[in-house]
Amino acid sequence: MTTTLVASIDSRRLVLRAGDAPCLDLALDEGGRHRLVVDDIADARRAVASLESCPGVGVLTAAGSLPGAMTVAESLALALRYGQEDIDAQDDEHEMETALQLCGLTPQRIAMLGSEQPMKLARMERWTIGLARWLLRPPELLVIDRLFAGLTRREAVALTATQAIYHRRHPFRTALFVDLDSHELPDLPECRSVTHLAEAPCPC
């Protein structure tokens, strides 16, 4: 698909267009999981880039979307304190620890993570910390970019269960999984809609 993709948000509704025709229409005030299936990596990159250009959209890549030059603690603190005028380090530390625990990390592991560089962590742990970062500051739309590529079935099920915590914590925040089309694509429990970009009613 080579048609230009353009995303926009108006009145808490996101529309992704291919050319002038809508391919995806999401209400952002209802929460829940949605899935956008694309044919190849190029289409995935174009769709995610278009979505990310909208204010209020956050992206969580398979690598966790954590700044490589920061420690885990610095990255989480940056997300938590963005726009804050009064900073309480003790309260912030408690919130960060709570977010990590909700995502399944043990207190012992959390105590060791603060000074770690994200890129030195295993992929699944890095992604889990990236999710905790968005848990602290949920966007209008969380785009989850190709989470399942390269994972085993068991790993995919585990991270899908971890991501469900996001919706329990923020029931009116929407998440959109952007996935490559594959016969091995894992099921997405409680997914409210599935859009196949190549089959959408637009000149794709």
The number of distinct structural domains making up the chain is 1
> pLDDT at position 19, please?
85
185 CB burial (10 A radius; 0-12, 13-18, 19+): middle
> pLDDT at position 203, please?
45
> pLDDT at position 84, please?
65
Residue 147 belongs to domain spanning: 29-192
Q: Is residue 164 part of a domain?
A: yes
Q: What is the CATH number of the domain that holds 162?
A: 3.40.50.300
Q: Is residue 91 part of a domain?
A: yes
List the chain residues with pLDDT less than 70.
1-2, 83-87, 199-204
Residue for token digits 């909700």?
102
Q: Is residue 165 part of a domain?
A: yes
> pLDDT at position 51, please?
97
What are 98's two structure tokens?
A: 């709570």
> pLDDT at position 53, please?
96
Q: Is residue 22 part of a domain?
A: no
> 3-state DSSP call for residue 192?
strand
What are 71's two structure tokens?
A: 């420690």
> pLDDT at position 204, please?
43
Would you state the torsion angle of the CA atoms of residues 35, 204, 51, 13, taken in this order, to the nearest 10 degrees? -70
> pLDDT at position 182, please?
85
